[in-house]
């Protein structure tokens, strides 16, 4: 869950920077201090900080798996003539 929040926050920060940044025709000094990029940066920082500082709650329950859990892996072996790769199923 924490990875999803961080990904969303970083994406939102990137979108806000892309939306607020001026184009080449608008990249000149207008009326005083440029407020929009500063406010956008502060908002993106607040979102990212909130996502990183969010508490992780643990309710004490673990998922229950019914039946074997199987994983497929590749294994190299020598058959006397050369190296080959076979697919092996590990169930636990």
pTM of this prediction exceeds 0.75:
no
The radius of gyration of the chain from alpha carbons, rounded to an integer in Å, stands at 26
Give me the tens of pLDDT residue by residue for the chain, a chain 92 residues long: 667 777 777 777 666 666 666 565 555 666 666 677 778 888 888 888 887 776 766 666 766 667 778 899 999 999 999 999 999 998 87
Domain boundaries, the chain: 2-53
Residue 28 confidence (pLDDT): 61
- Tell me, what's the pLDDT at 3? 72
What was the pLDDT predicted at 81? 94
Query: How far does CA 90 lie from the centroid of its chain?
Result: 29
DSSP 8-state class, residue 9:
H
């Amino acid at each position: 869950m924490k990875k999803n929040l961080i990904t969303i926050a970083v994406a939102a920060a990137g979108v806000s920077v892309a939306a607020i940044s001026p184009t080449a025709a608008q990249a000149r000094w207008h009326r005083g201090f440029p407020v929009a990029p500063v406010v956008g940066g502060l908002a993106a920082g607040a979102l990212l900080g909130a996502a990183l500082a969010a508490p992780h709650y643990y309710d004490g329950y673990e998922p229950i798996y019914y039946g074997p859990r199987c994983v497929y892996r590749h294994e190299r072996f020598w058959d006397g003539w050369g190296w080959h790769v076979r697919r092996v199923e590990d169930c636990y």
